[in-house]
Structure 1
Amino acid sequence: MFDQQPKTDELQKTFLTCRLGDECVALPVSRVMEILDPKPVTKLPRAPEFLLGYIDLRGESILVVDMRLLLAQPYKEDTTDTRIVVLWVKTGETETPVGLRADQVFEVTRLDDDKLETFAQNGLLNWDTRMVAGVGRREGKFVTVLDLDRMLSSKVISEFHQSVEDAEAT
Protein backbone atom coordinates (compact mmCIF):
# COMPACT_ATOMS: atom_id res chain seq x y z
CA MET A 1 0.00 0.00 0.00
CA PHE A 2 1.36 3.43 -0.91
CA ASP A 3 1.61 6.24 1.61
CA GLN A 4 -0.83 8.87 0.31
CA GLN A 5 0.21 11.57 2.81
CA PRO A 6 3.03 13.92 1.77
CA LYS A 7 6.09 13.85 3.99
CA THR A 8 6.17 16.56 6.69
CA ASP A 9 9.21 18.31 5.19
CA GLU A 10 7.43 18.38 1.80
CA LEU A 11 4.35 19.97 3.40
CA GLN A 12 6.49 22.70 4.93
CA LYS A 13 7.65 23.68 1.44
CA THR A 14 4.12 23.71 -0.01
CA PHE A 15 1.86 26.77 0.02
CA LEU A 16 -1.67 27.80 -0.87
CA THR A 17 -1.44 30.95 -2.98
CA CYS A 18 -4.14 33.62 -2.75
CA ARG A 19 -4.76 37.03 -4.24
CA LEU A 20 -5.34 40.18 -2.21
CA GLY A 21 -5.87 43.03 -4.62
CA ASP A 22 -2.94 42.95 -7.02
CA GLU A 23 -0.70 41.03 -4.62
CA CYS A 24 -0.09 37.30 -4.31
CA VAL A 25 0.23 35.92 -0.78
CA ALA A 26 0.93 32.39 0.37
CA LEU A 27 -0.22 30.39 3.38
CA PRO A 28 1.34 27.12 4.59
CA VAL A 29 -0.77 24.31 3.13
CA SER A 30 -0.06 22.16 6.18
CA ARG A 31 -2.34 24.50 8.18
CA VAL A 32 -5.27 24.54 5.71
CA MET A 33 -8.42 22.69 6.80
CA GLU A 34 -10.59 23.59 3.83
CA ILE A 35 -11.54 26.30 1.35
CA LEU A 36 -15.10 27.61 1.33
CA ASP A 37 -17.20 29.70 -1.02
CA PRO A 38 -18.35 32.95 0.58
CA LYS A 39 -21.16 32.52 3.06
CA PRO A 40 -23.10 34.80 5.40
CA VAL A 41 -21.05 35.98 8.36
CA THR A 42 -22.67 36.75 11.72
CA LYS A 43 -21.30 40.05 13.02
CA LEU A 44 -19.76 40.42 16.47
CA PRO A 45 -20.50 43.53 18.53
CA ARG A 46 -17.60 45.98 18.94
CA ALA A 47 -15.25 43.76 16.95
CA PRO A 48 -12.33 45.32 15.06
CA GLU A 49 -13.11 46.11 11.43
CA PHE A 50 -10.97 43.23 10.08
CA LEU A 51 -12.86 40.66 12.20
CA LEU A 52 -15.92 40.11 10.05
CA GLY A 53 -17.65 37.80 12.55
CA TYR A 54 -18.19 34.07 12.54
CA ILE A 55 -19.62 31.32 10.38
CA ASP A 56 -21.01 27.90 11.14
CA LEU A 57 -18.87 25.05 9.86
CA ARG A 58 -20.57 21.73 10.56
CA GLY A 59 -21.78 22.89 13.98
CA GLU A 60 -18.58 24.73 14.98
CA SER A 61 -18.32 28.52 15.14
CA ILE A 62 -15.33 29.78 13.14
CA LEU A 63 -14.10 33.39 13.32
CA VAL A 64 -13.59 35.00 9.92
CA VAL A 65 -10.89 37.61 9.33
CA ASP A 66 -10.74 39.77 6.21
CA MET A 67 -7.09 39.53 5.14
CA ARG A 68 -7.38 42.76 3.14
CA LEU A 69 -8.46 44.77 6.19
CA LEU A 70 -6.04 42.99 8.50
CA LEU A 71 -3.17 43.97 6.21
CA ALA A 72 -4.40 47.58 5.90
CA GLN A 73 -5.84 47.26 2.39
CA PRO A 74 -9.27 48.68 1.45
CA TYR A 75 -12.39 46.58 1.86
CA LYS A 76 -13.77 44.85 -1.22
CA GLU A 77 -17.17 43.22 -1.65
CA ASP A 78 -17.35 39.48 -2.33
CA THR A 79 -17.04 38.36 -5.94
CA THR A 80 -17.43 34.96 -7.57
CA ASP A 81 -13.71 34.41 -6.84
CA THR A 82 -13.83 35.27 -3.11
CA ARG A 83 -13.01 32.37 -0.78
CA ILE A 84 -12.75 31.73 2.95
CA VAL A 85 -9.66 29.67 3.76
CA VAL A 86 -10.11 27.85 7.07
CA LEU A 87 -6.76 27.23 8.74
CA TRP A 88 -5.30 26.11 12.04
CA VAL A 89 -3.71 28.98 13.96
CA LYS A 90 -1.55 28.43 17.05
CA THR A 91 -2.56 30.41 20.12
CA GLY A 92 -0.24 29.46 22.93
CA GLU A 93 -0.36 25.69 23.34
CA THR A 94 -3.56 25.18 21.35
CA GLU A 95 -4.55 25.34 17.70
CA THR A 96 -7.75 27.13 16.73
CA PRO A 97 -9.50 27.11 13.36
CA VAL A 98 -9.84 30.59 11.81
CA GLY A 99 -11.28 31.62 8.45
CA LEU A 100 -9.31 34.06 6.29
CA ARG A 101 -11.25 35.85 3.56
CA ALA A 102 -9.23 36.16 0.35
CA ASP A 103 -10.06 37.78 -3.00
CA GLN A 104 -9.14 34.57 -4.82
CA VAL A 105 -7.40 31.25 -4.21
CA PHE A 106 -5.00 30.16 -6.95
CA GLU A 107 -3.26 26.87 -6.26
CA VAL A 108 -1.32 24.62 -3.92
CA THR A 109 2.29 24.92 -5.02
CA ARG A 110 5.93 25.08 -4.09
CA LEU A 111 8.02 28.19 -4.50
CA ASP A 112 10.65 28.40 -7.22
CA ASP A 113 13.74 26.61 -5.91
CA ASP A 114 11.98 26.28 -2.51
CA LYS A 115 13.66 29.58 -1.58
CA LEU A 116 12.18 31.92 0.99
CA GLU A 117 13.95 35.20 1.68
CA THR A 118 13.42 36.62 5.14
CA PHE A 119 13.77 40.15 6.40
CA ALA A 120 15.64 40.97 9.58
CA GLN A 121 13.64 42.94 12.15
CA ASN A 122 16.02 45.87 12.30
CA GLY A 123 13.70 48.86 12.04
CA LEU A 124 14.58 49.32 8.37
CA LEU A 125 12.20 51.88 6.90
CA ASN A 126 10.10 51.62 10.09
CA TRP A 127 8.43 48.52 8.63
CA ASP A 128 7.06 45.79 10.89
CA THR A 129 7.94 42.39 9.40
CA ARG A 130 6.19 40.22 12.00
CA MET A 131 3.24 39.34 9.74
CA VAL A 132 5.55 38.15 6.97
CA ALA A 133 7.47 34.86 7.10
CA GLY A 134 9.37 35.82 3.95
CA VAL A 135 9.20 36.41 0.23
CA GLY A 136 9.54 33.78 -2.44
CA ARG A 137 8.87 33.51 -6.13
CA ARG A 138 6.42 31.46 -8.12
CA GLU A 139 7.08 31.30 -11.85
CA GLY A 140 9.44 34.25 -11.35
CA LYS A 141 6.82 36.51 -9.70
CA PHE A 142 6.99 37.64 -6.07
CA VAL A 143 4.86 35.86 -3.46
CA THR A 144 4.62 37.12 0.13
CA VAL A 145 4.47 34.20 2.57
CA LEU A 146 2.44 35.17 5.63
CA ASP A 147 3.25 34.07 9.18
CA LEU A 148 -0.18 32.94 10.40
CA ASP A 149 0.57 32.71 14.10
CA ARG A 150 2.17 36.13 14.37
CA MET A 151 -0.24 37.70 11.87
CA LEU A 152 -3.22 36.67 14.00
CA SER A 153 -1.58 37.35 17.38
CA SER A 154 -3.64 39.95 19.27
CA LYS A 155 -0.46 41.78 20.32
CA VAL A 156 0.89 42.04 16.77
CA ILE A 157 -2.52 43.03 15.38
CA SER A 158 -3.06 45.82 17.90
CA GLU A 159 0.47 47.19 17.46
CA PHE A 160 0.23 47.00 13.65
CA HIS A 161 -3.13 48.74 13.46
CA GLN A 162 -2.01 51.39 15.93
CA SER A 163 1.02 52.16 13.74
CA VAL A 164 -1.24 52.32 10.64
CA GLU A 165 -3.59 54.73 12.43
CA ASP A 166 -0.61 56.82 13.55
CA ALA A 167 0.75 56.95 9.99
CA GLU A 168 -2.66 57.94 8.58
CA ALA A 169 -2.97 60.73 11.18
CA THR A 170 0.28 62.39 10.04
Structure 2
Amino acid sequence: MTQFVTLGIDRETFALPVEAVREILDMCEISKLPNAPPQLLGMIDVRGAAVPVIDLRTKFGLPRIDSTPNTRILVLEFVAQGRKTSIGLVADRVFEVTGLDGDRLDPAPETGCRWQSDHIAGIGRRGDRFVVVLDLARLLADDTPTLITTALEAA
Protein backbone atom coordinates (compact mmCIF):
# COMPACT_ATOMS: atom_id res chain seq x y z
CA MET A 1 0.00 0.00 0.00
CA THR A 2 1.34 3.44 -0.95
CA GLN A 3 1.74 5.73 2.06
CA PHE A 4 1.09 9.48 2.05
CA VAL A 5 1.56 12.38 4.43
CA THR A 6 -1.80 14.15 4.61
CA LEU A 7 -1.92 17.89 5.21
CA GLY A 8 -4.50 20.62 5.35
CA ILE A 9 -4.66 23.87 3.43
CA ASP A 10 -7.75 25.94 4.17
CA ARG A 11 -10.61 23.39 4.35
CA GLU A 12 -9.03 20.91 1.93
CA THR A 13 -6.97 17.77 2.53
CA PHE A 14 -3.90 17.16 0.39
CA ALA A 15 -1.31 14.39 0.34
CA LEU A 16 2.33 13.94 -0.62
CA PRO A 17 4.14 10.62 -1.05
CA VAL A 18 5.79 9.80 2.26
CA GLU A 19 9.14 9.04 0.57
CA ALA A 20 9.44 12.71 -0.50
CA VAL A 21 9.04 14.03 3.06
CA ARG A 22 12.31 14.17 4.99
CA GLU A 23 10.87 15.69 8.14
CA ILE A 24 8.04 17.79 9.54
CA LEU A 25 8.92 20.85 11.60
CA ASP A 26 6.97 23.21 13.81
CA MET A 27 6.70 26.68 12.32
CA CYS A 28 9.89 28.64 12.95
CA GLU A 29 11.48 31.97 12.08
CA ILE A 30 11.94 32.30 8.31
CA SER A 31 14.66 34.61 6.98
CA LYS A 32 13.14 36.81 4.30
CA LEU A 33 14.76 37.16 0.88
CA PRO A 34 14.67 40.42 -1.07
CA ASN A 35 12.78 40.39 -4.38
CA ALA A 36 11.57 36.81 -3.85
CA PRO A 37 8.39 35.67 -5.62
CA PRO A 38 5.30 35.90 -3.36
CA GLN A 39 5.11 32.16 -2.61
CA LEU A 40 8.80 32.00 -1.53
CA LEU A 41 8.68 33.02 2.13
CA GLY A 42 12.44 32.85 2.63
CA MET A 43 14.98 30.40 4.05
CA ILE A 44 15.31 28.28 7.17
CA ASP A 45 18.30 26.43 8.56
CA VAL A 46 17.82 22.66 8.72
CA ARG A 47 20.84 21.01 10.34
CA GLY A 48 23.25 23.51 8.81
CA ALA A 49 21.68 23.55 5.33
CA ALA A 50 19.79 26.53 3.88
CA VAL A 51 16.31 25.39 2.83
CA PRO A 52 13.96 27.64 0.82
CA VAL A 53 10.36 27.70 2.10
CA ILE A 54 7.23 27.97 -0.05
CA ASP A 55 3.83 28.99 1.30
CA LEU A 56 1.32 26.50 -0.13
CA ARG A 57 -1.58 28.88 0.52
CA THR A 58 0.01 31.54 -1.70
CA LYS A 59 1.00 28.89 -4.27
CA PHE A 60 -2.66 27.88 -4.49
CA GLY A 61 -3.88 31.48 -4.81
CA LEU A 62 -5.21 31.76 -1.26
CA PRO A 63 -4.47 34.68 1.06
CA ARG A 64 -1.68 34.27 3.60
CA ILE A 65 -2.70 33.81 7.20
CA ASP A 66 -0.80 34.11 10.45
CA SER A 67 0.70 30.86 11.64
CA THR A 68 -1.12 28.90 14.33
CA PRO A 69 0.08 26.22 16.77
CA ASN A 70 -0.89 23.69 14.02
CA THR A 71 1.16 25.29 11.21
CA ARG A 72 3.95 23.00 10.00
CA ILE A 73 6.84 23.05 7.54
CA LEU A 74 7.25 19.84 5.54
CA VAL A 75 10.87 19.49 4.47
CA LEU A 76 11.00 17.63 1.17
CA GLU A 77 13.90 16.15 -0.78
CA PHE A 78 13.81 15.64 -4.52
CA VAL A 79 16.08 15.72 -7.55
CA ALA A 80 15.74 18.73 -9.85
CA GLN A 81 18.00 19.69 -12.71
CA GLY A 82 20.30 16.81 -11.74
CA ARG A 83 20.84 17.94 -8.16
CA LYS A 84 19.39 16.83 -4.86
CA THR A 85 17.30 19.69 -3.55
CA SER A 86 15.53 20.32 -0.26
CA ILE A 87 12.59 22.66 0.12
CA GLY A 88 10.10 23.44 2.83
CA LEU A 89 6.36 23.67 2.26
CA VAL A 90 4.23 25.54 4.80
CA ALA A 91 0.90 23.82 5.48
CA ASP A 92 -1.90 24.94 7.78
CA ARG A 93 -1.69 21.56 9.51
CA VAL A 94 -0.38 18.01 9.06
CA PHE A 95 -2.70 15.12 9.84
CA GLU A 96 -1.04 11.72 9.52
CA VAL A 97 0.88 9.20 7.46
CA THR A 98 -1.69 6.91 5.89
CA GLY A 99 -2.75 4.92 2.89
CA LEU A 100 -5.80 5.88 0.89
CA ASP A 101 -8.98 3.84 0.72
CA GLY A 102 -8.72 1.30 -2.07
CA ASP A 103 -5.12 2.41 -2.75
CA ARG A 104 -6.16 3.98 -6.05
CA LEU A 105 -6.35 7.49 -7.44
CA ASP A 106 -8.99 8.93 -9.73
CA PRO A 107 -7.85 11.48 -12.31
CA ALA A 108 -8.07 15.15 -11.37
CA PRO A 109 -11.23 16.84 -12.60
CA GLU A 110 -10.78 19.10 -15.62
CA THR A 111 -13.33 21.73 -14.56
CA GLY A 112 -14.90 22.97 -11.39
CA CYS A 113 -11.73 22.30 -9.43
CA ARG A 114 -10.64 24.97 -6.98
CA TRP A 115 -6.96 24.06 -7.46
CA GLN A 116 -4.95 23.94 -10.67
CA SER A 117 -5.47 20.42 -11.96
CA ASP A 118 -1.94 20.28 -13.42
CA HIS A 119 -0.60 20.25 -9.84
CA ILE A 120 -2.67 17.17 -8.99
CA ALA A 121 -1.56 13.56 -9.43
CA GLY A 122 -5.05 12.32 -8.59
CA ILE A 123 -7.91 12.25 -6.12
CA GLY A 124 -8.18 9.59 -3.44
CA ARG A 125 -10.45 8.96 -0.50
CA ARG A 126 -9.83 8.60 3.19
CA GLY A 127 -13.04 7.73 4.98
CA ASP A 128 -15.71 10.18 3.88
CA ARG A 129 -13.22 12.84 2.67
CA PHE A 130 -11.57 13.42 -0.66
CA VAL A 131 -7.78 13.69 -0.58
CA VAL A 132 -5.99 15.61 -3.33
CA VAL A 133 -2.65 13.95 -4.06
CA LEU A 134 -0.17 16.57 -5.24
CA ASP A 135 2.24 15.99 -8.10
CA LEU A 136 5.40 17.38 -6.54
CA ALA A 137 7.33 17.77 -9.80
CA ARG A 138 4.56 19.76 -11.47
CA LEU A 139 3.69 21.70 -8.30
CA LEU A 140 7.26 22.98 -8.02
CA ALA A 141 8.15 23.18 -11.72
CA ASP A 142 7.75 26.97 -11.88
CA ASP A 143 9.63 27.49 -8.61
CA THR A 144 12.46 24.98 -9.00
CA PRO A 145 14.96 27.17 -10.91
CA THR A 146 14.46 30.00 -8.40
CA LEU A 147 14.74 27.61 -5.45
CA ILE A 148 17.92 26.00 -6.73
CA THR A 149 19.52 29.39 -7.41
CA THR A 150 18.42 30.67 -4.00
CA ALA A 151 19.75 27.59 -2.20
CA LEU A 152 23.09 27.76 -4.01
CA GLU A 153 23.50 31.45 -3.22
CA ALA A 154 22.69 30.86 0.45
CA ALA A 155 25.05 27.89 0.80
Do they superpose with TM above 0.5?
A: yes
State how far apart, in whole Å, the 1-side matches of 2:125 and 2:79 are. Answer: 26
Rg larger in 1 or in 2? 1
Determine which of 130, 133, 151 is the counterpart of 1:145.
Answer: 133
**What does residue 12 of structure 2 align with?**
23
Counterpart residue identity of residue 126, structure 2: R
- 1:42 maps onto 2:31 in alignment: yes
- 1:84 maps onto 2:106 in alignment: no
What is the Cα-based RMSD across aligned positions, in Å? 2.1
Deviation >3 Å, runs of 4+? 124-128
Q: Is this contact kept in 2: 1:90–1:149, CA < 8 A?
A: no
Counterpart residue identity of residue 67, structure 2: D
Determine which of 38, 63, 88 is the counterpart of 1:74.
Answer: 63
**What does residue 148 of structure 2 align with?**
none
Q: Which consecutive unaligned segments of at least 5 residues does structure 2 have?
A: 145-155
Counterpart residue identity of residue 51, structure 2: I
Cα distance, 1:155 vs structure 2: 7.1
Higher relative contact order (CA 8 A, sep 6+): 2
Cα distance, 1:74 vs structure 2: 1.3
Cα distance, 1:94 vs structure 2: 2.5
State how far apart, in whole Å, the 2-side matches of 1:140 and 1:126 are. Answer: 20
The secondary structure found in structure 2 opposite 1:130 is helix
Q: Which consecutive unaligned segments of at least 5 residues does structure 1 have?
A: 1-9, 157-170
State how far apart, in whole Å, the 2-side matches of 1:95 and 1:28 are. Answer: 17
Cα distance, 1:88 vs structure 2: 1.2
**What does residue 3 of structure 2 align with?**
14
